[in-house]
Structure 1
Amino acid sequence: MKHLSRFLVASLLVLGLSTTNAQDQNNPWAVSIGVNAVDIFPTGGDLPVQGEIFDEYFNANDHWNILPSVSKLSVGRYIGSGFSFTAEGSVNKISNWGELNGEDQSVDDLSYYALDGRFSYSFKDALKAKWFDPYLGVGGGYTWIDEIGVGTVNGSLGINFWLTENLALNVQSTYKHVLEDYEVSNYPPTHFQHSAGLTFAFGGKDTDGDGVYDKDDECPEVPGLAEFNGCPDTDGDGIVDGKDDCPDVAGTAEFNGCPDTDGDGVPDPKDDCPTVSGLASLNGCPDADGDGITDGKDGCPNEAGPAANNGCPYQDKDNDGVLDKDDNCPDVPGTVANNGCPEVTEEVQATLNEYAKTILFDTGKSSIKSESFNVLQDIIKILKEYPSANFSIEGHTDSQGRATTNQRLSESRANSVKDFLVNNGIDQSRLSAKGYGEEKPIATNATRAGRKQNRRVEINLVK
């Protein structure tokens, strides 16, 4: 019992130091507890009671020494690339001392305890296995039987059967070769030590201090929550920040963590009007009149109209049935056929020419007599009633005098009338002037009355 107490104290010390160091290490630790069996016989040793190597290897009834309680404790640290180091302690009682001349040999319950260290290589990753974890180990240690101790060189073969990520069933067989000889009957001989137990894996580095080890932490450098594998959820909406389009504002999974304040189905970052319910087609903004223009940009939000008119309907100020946008004369009633402008009727045309015939000029000149100014104002008034109509001012003479002189005079008088009209508010682009001389008489030049009729100015509509 004295040696058992020593072993338990040493094992607890190793375990205590290991778990303390684990807080600063990047690799996981493992603790195993279980039972062990010591078998002296199938080792190929030098004692008369030992047989050939592996002879009756599984003869547990006759050769194995088993203490019916927890009798082995180990602490292991993963090094990397499949390698680990393990410190083990075990206790036992030796009553089976091999076999001599076919007779099983026994002793009086010798105390057995051992402290060993082992480097192991796991084949789990090489086999791409999830639960089956065979390993090989080499190492050494020190074994005592009663008061006599000796150093050993060890070789181990074991298997971990992982039941969960952190719990495994462990079985192991270790060959312990004694390095020294003693001339006493109960010195520790070369032997096998078998064991079975449970392995608990734990520990690891936690860089961000969030309680989730780096090997399991999807966000190892940012403190997070265990339920999100160590990743943070700043706004507490159940969506980790890395997948949350709005990590600082609580939202819904439907919108990748973003809110929809106005409930219109458009998340706030994509909603141009986040506090007012609107249409997805208009980036979340409302359109009260349904004209496709958001209320904020609609000059007439409650009255449908085209975008070209700032959302307002087109007006028809002169009520002539032609919208102002298509009305060449929006302030004067006209006809559809004439693009909203009034049409010059035959009666108006006749009136213009009746007025034009009364325009008087100084004899042989193009200067207009002042008594004709009133009639010219009447002509101007009529022309202004038809702002889209264009007119041709035509000058004519009788046949008296030279034809070339008459031609120049007719052109000069036509231009004189045009200039008067332009100077009094008629757009010159609407007017043209031409002289015909004596080419187009409307009466005979043989009489005085006929020649008077031929000396005239006409104002005709250009169609």
Structure 2
Amino acid sequence: MRTAKIFSFLFMFMASSVIFAQDELQITAKDSIVQSSWIVGVGFNAVDDSGNVFDGLVNFGDEWNIVPFPSRVSIGRNFKSGLGIEAIGTYNEYKEGKIIDSEVIPENISYFGIDGRITYDINKIIGETGWFDPYVGVGAGYTDANNKGRGTYNAVVGFRTWFSDRWGLDFSSTGKWAMSQSEGASNHLQHSAGVVYQFGIEKGLSKRGEEKQELLAAIEKEKQRQRDSINEVNRLKDEALLAERLKKQKEADALAAKEKARIDALNKKKAEIKARIENLGNVYFALNSSVINSNSKKIMNSLMLMFEEIPTLKLKITSHTDSRGASKYNDWLSQRRVDNTRDYLLSKGVPADKLTTEAYGENKLLNECDDNTYCPEEKHAINRRSEFVILEF
């Protein structure tokens, strides 16, 4: 019992592992990253222009200058390659009593800066972290600081941290070196912090997502190989079944052709017998008579010889009248005619089971000579007849 419980636990653990692995292999939103976008930012900036930057790097009270309202705006674009370009405008104010260029200033002095820079996303080297986005960059600009305007060479290090694909915070520190030291223009540091917003976003897979995609592609390739293998087995089975069906179809076609040939031969033989009987002609009767005349006897004598030649032959004798006279009378007369026709053949030795009879009276005229149409005698004579129909041969 204990062993069964252990195996049950192991089975459940393995099943849950497989399900978890399948979930892990799904490409989700977490596996996608922003690869390129436009980016705008608003925030604060602090300037350290004390002249002893590295000695008093965190001497906020005496050396850092900051205003209590948003003083930095930026707009830029990040590219798939990791490079970015950005334009930045800043305003600040050197406060009375602060150390500027190694001297304490006696009054407030405005600070203006316009800068452009090129940055590079370090995650392209170390791997995507999703929320943490460090970067370095270089650029140039123009700064009016301590009432001295100067062009600057800039170097920046910073990072952005993202709350979503669109919103984040941006922190950076920029070193600004004066292009010319004339009129006492000096170097300084500028720090910034603010909110950034991305738009015009183009997303792609992170390295983790790409690894998942490759693994999924490998799994799909293996599944396809298995499907191809199964399809090949099924194809061979289908070919074998098709070959068997073709063989049976060929046999059925041969049997059908044989049967068709047999039927065609029978039809040909029937047509020949019918033609021979038709060539003999019908048995005709005189008006209001059922007597077999000499000419009709010759026809039936020839027909008797056909029975001897074809032992399997069976005929139906049908007898008719013309339209003259009452219908009931004509029915009786045609019955007399068919009986006399049959009796003559029986008297010549034709077996009774080879003959059947049917009397039609005036119901099956061969021409237009009905009760409403005048016809000469020769036309009426055509309808006073006994005919022979092949049943079997």
Q: TM-score, normalised by structure 1?
A: 0.35
Indicate the structure whose relative CO is greater, using CA pairs within 8 Å and at least 6 residues apart: 2
Going by fraction, where is strand more abundant, 1 or 2?
2
When normalised by structure 2's length, the TM-score is 0.41
Relative to its length, the structure with more helix (as a share) is: 2
